[in-house]
A and B are shown apart, each in its own frame.
Chain A
Amino acid sequence: MSVHQISVFLENRAGQLAEVTKLLAENGIDMRAISIAETKDYGVLRLIVDDTDKATEALLASGCILSKTPVTVVCVPDQAGGLAPVLAVLAEGNLDVEYMYSLFTHKEGKAYMVFRISDEEKFCALLAAHGIQTADKDELGLK
């Protein structure tokens, strides 16, 4: 089961992010990863949450504009140089990183990175070929 990211449009204005996080808290939704990409006027808030459907429903009901995107979550050894082999794979496959960020979740010496790559299929195939693991919803404890 692939992991989905929720992307929310946020205008660059005081209190915008607070509103979204408050709404998620009120609905008992736990954020597992958060990342913001911004321009001068607006930003895109990217979230991995424990209950994507419930969060989506709540955000839409409050008038937010959002999208759901499947992303690849890669298991990375939680140690110095852990990320390097993954990036080497990207370089080898001549793949572009659209964005990446880390999950708060840690497990038995493992950390997790979210990747959005120009060619996900090729990325996953290359990861498998190099014996690099990816994580699904179950491993991360997401609904």
Chain B
Amino acid sequence: MANYYQPEIETASREQIVAWQNERLLKQVQHVWDNVPYYRAKMEEKGVTPADIKSIDDLHKLPFLTKADLRDAYPYGLCAKPLSECVRIQSTSGTTGRRVVAFYTQHDVDLWEDCCARAIVAAGGTKEDVVQVAYGYGLFTGGPGLNGGSHKVGCLTLPMSSGNTERQLTFMTDLEATILCCTPSYAQYLAESIEEAGLRDKIKLKAGIFGAEAWSEEMRHDIENRLGIKAYDIYGLTETSGPGVSFECCEQTGMHINEDHFIAEIINPETGEVLPEGEKGELVFTSITKEAFPLLRYRTRDICVLTRKKCSCGRTHVKMSKPMGRSDDMLIVKGVNVFPSQIETVLMEQGYPANYQIIVDRVNHSDTLEVLVEMAPDKFSDSLAEIAEQEKKLVGALKAMLGIFAKVRIVSPKSITRSEGKAVRVIDKRKI
């Protein structure tokens, strides 16, 4: 069984894919050289010019881009098109407070939506389907991406956004949604709510497309059994467009990367050296069709493995494993990127000691984020109300920085372990 949205692309021969990549990479390098002084300077520093890139075999000669570059070039430094041609931004949190802002031309939006449409069709979606999009809408790419993909396929699209579970269940049952798109933890939560409400017989779901956070095979089985569906993984990041960079097919053994739009490499995160196929390392993407925000060799910090083994679905595009970890300290909480450095920045701005601890857990299928903060002399008062007022300010500042709620727990001064060199900043109790 194979369902394709763009069969001629999704099942193209390897030679054809490489031909597209060669042609598009050369064009993209020239485009970036001409329009992104920030990256051009990086190329010049490395002594590389567009003339040195003759095919994808020369890709390794190009310098990497990292999240730090996105921060340095914020907001417009990596935008390769005049703003008059850009129609959209999406955004995600970055390190030390600066957000990542990615730009899209109408053409970029179209191609991104095509990628999402491929994922929906691979999950069995047709124009007969009712797609419930319960990812957040707004700056977050999840909602807009799947929404656009669903339109492209011609599905009836329910733009629910995240949260408001009762309303989700009402629409799911009344409008007989057949495909659910959300984070896997929210899918688990919805499954539980469906059971509690005794609605299991009333739902018509057949498939789910779940991404934006790590999930295990156990979670997949749990969701599939409880909702009576097939659960498909989808991967993406704001920097390269959003969800749909890669997606699972019926084989459910990895996600096909849309190689006509992205060239994937696996590198050793320590040395930057490109690793052979099948080896575990950091995933690096080069966007070869994006016009407004064309990142070359962007380091995702996700650790995974690529494989070109023939897939029974008939797709020929390389498959990536689920990310197995990170080569930096980024956490994904409720689908949102959280860096310990962001929390540190807020604490220091608010006058709290920078000795903190972050505890992440999953309670009732929902991620929780707690920050342990040491009391400081000038934050103390004999009045509980005044301490609480300070705490409220801190919670507000954290929310503004992270975009999600973090519980603050004030603890004794110097009580967070500092011994043995590096303090344990993050305790992740989630069993995924």
Contacts and interface: CB of A to CB of B under 8 A. Distances in A.
Interface of A: 5, 7, 9-11, 13, 16, 37-39, 41-44, 46, 63-67, 69, 98-99, 116
B414 A98 contact: no
A44 B415 contact: no
Given A41-B409, A41-B410, A42-B410, A11 B415 contact: yes
A39 B375 contact: no
Interface stretch (B43-51, B128-136, B380-388): B380-388
A15 B412 CA distance: 12
Interface string B378-398: 001111110110000000000
A9 B409 contact: no
Contact of B382 (A5, A38, A42): A5
A44 B413 contact: no
B377 interface: yes
Say whether chain A's binding surface is mostly helix, strand, loop, or mixed. strand
Given A11-B415, A44-B381, A67-B381, 19 more contacts: A7-B381, A9-B412, A9-B413, A11-B410, A37-B384, A38-B384, A39-B388, A41-B410, A41-B411, A42-B375, A42-B387, A43-B384, A44-B383, A46-B382, A65-B375, A65-B376, A65-B413, A69-B382, A98-B383
Nearest to B382: A7
A105 to B, nearest CB: 21
Interface size class of B (residues with CB under 8 A): 10 to 19
Contacts of A43: 384
Contacts of A67: 380-382
Contact of B413 (A38, A41, A46, A63): A63
B20 to A, nearest CB: 57
B77 to A, nearest CB: 43
A46 B376 CA distance: 18
B115 to A, nearest CB: 45
A63 B384 contact: no
Contacts of A7: 380-382
Contacts of A69: 382
A116 to B, nearest CB: 7
A45 B262 CA distance: 60
A42 B408 CA distance: 12
B380 A65 contact: yes
Q: Which residue, B377, B381, B382, B383, has most C-beta atoms of chain A within 10 A?
A: B382
Contacts of B384: 37-39, 43-44
A105 B240 CA distance: 72
Contacts of A98: 383, 385
Given A5-B382, A37-B384, A44-B387, A65 B411 contact: no
A9 B380 contact: yes
A66 to B, nearest CB: 7
A99 B385 CA distance: 11
Nearest to B377: A65
Contacts of B388: 39
B370 to A, nearest CB: 10
23 contacts: A5-B382, A7-B380, A9-B375, A9-B412, A9-B413, A11-B375, A11-B411, A11-B412, A11-B415, A37-B384, A38-B384, A42-B375, A42-B387, A42-B410, A43-B384, A44-B382, A46-B382, A63-B414, A65-B375, A66-B380, A67-B380, A67-B381, A99-B383
The 5 A-B pairs at the shortest CB distance, nearest first, are namely A7-B382, A11-B412, A69-B382, A65-B380, A9-B375
Contacts of A41: 409-411
